[in-house]
Amino acid sequence: MHALRILCLAGFMPSLLPAPLALAQQPASPAGSALPDIHQLMREVHEHQKQLDKVRENYTYTSLQTTQDLDSNGHVAKTETHEFEVFYVNDRLISRLVKKDGKPLDDHDQQKETERVTKAVEKAENPEPDQQKKNQEISLGRILDVADVRNPRRESYRGRSTIVFDFVGRKDLKAHGLNEDLSKKLQGTIWIDEADRQVAHLEVSLNNNFNVDGGLLARIEKGSSLRFDQAPVNGEIWFPTGAEETIQARILLVKGIRQHSVVRFYDYKRFRVETQQQKDAKVVPEKAQ
């Protein structure tokens, strides 16, 4: 339903989410030195992400999402919060709802959520042969393949040296699949931490309406946007810290949606998943050494 939310949570973030990385992989270049080639820089970012993808399954974290429904004048009509316990199984993101509007789930809803999560874990542990193909993700590198890179520069971001550049989707290129079609309609700016080759900040928006199934399923309107932050945690690892999204869309040619969402990510810790008698799947924190 939310194309940019899909982009954020199922595209960018799986490659950026809990992936511990020792800081200062390489020293930042002195101020005034030549900028790196942007595509080579992104290849290095991509390689770091691939290495770190293997580590993220050792971590769980909390995601707190606050969503505001807006009326036609942009005023808040309704606010909801959802708190999730999130972890990965076989490279699949699994989220368990633990609170809604600040209140724990009642016994009935807890049981339903446990059953849903257990099925998701079992499916992740036994994926279909073509599941990987079905779940192809949007990556920064793939977006840049169908985008023009502009105005590369060096800036300080939160006290760290970053390589910053703007990008605009190339409308003249033929898209292969929904993801590339979406990528062509994106524009934004990326901040890359120069020392650690990690995405520190991302701002992206739609510069044209994006139709899903020719607009019959959904139309995400021009101006819908996403902001994403990632930062060193405890002086030794990189983790996402938050995201912000504004969506204006029409679903099934009937229902109009205007929403503003803010997501916080926190409480990262190591874990293991235990599945008991095929009825319950839970996260068990590792004991401190």
> Is the pLDDT confidence value at 235 over 70?
no
pTM score: 0.76
Domains of the chain, by residue range, sit at 3-285
Question: What is the arithmetic mean of pLDDT over 16-33?
Answer: 48
Q: In angstroms, rounded to a whole number, what is the distance separating the alpha carbons of residues 54 and 266?
A: 20
Place of tokens 């399954």: 57
pLDDT of residue 13: 36
In the beta sheet, which residues pair with residue 284?
272
Question: What is the arithmetic mean of pLDDT over 257-280?
Answer: 73
Query: Roughly how many angstroms between the first and final C-alpha of the chain, as a whole number?
Result: 43
pLDDT of residue 62: 94
> Is the pLDDT confidence value at 215 over 90?
no
pLDDT of residue 81: 97
Which residue intervals of 1-106 are DSSP H helices? 3-7, 13-16, 38-56
When mean pLDDT is compared across 82-96, 174-188, 223-237, the lowest value belongs to 174-188
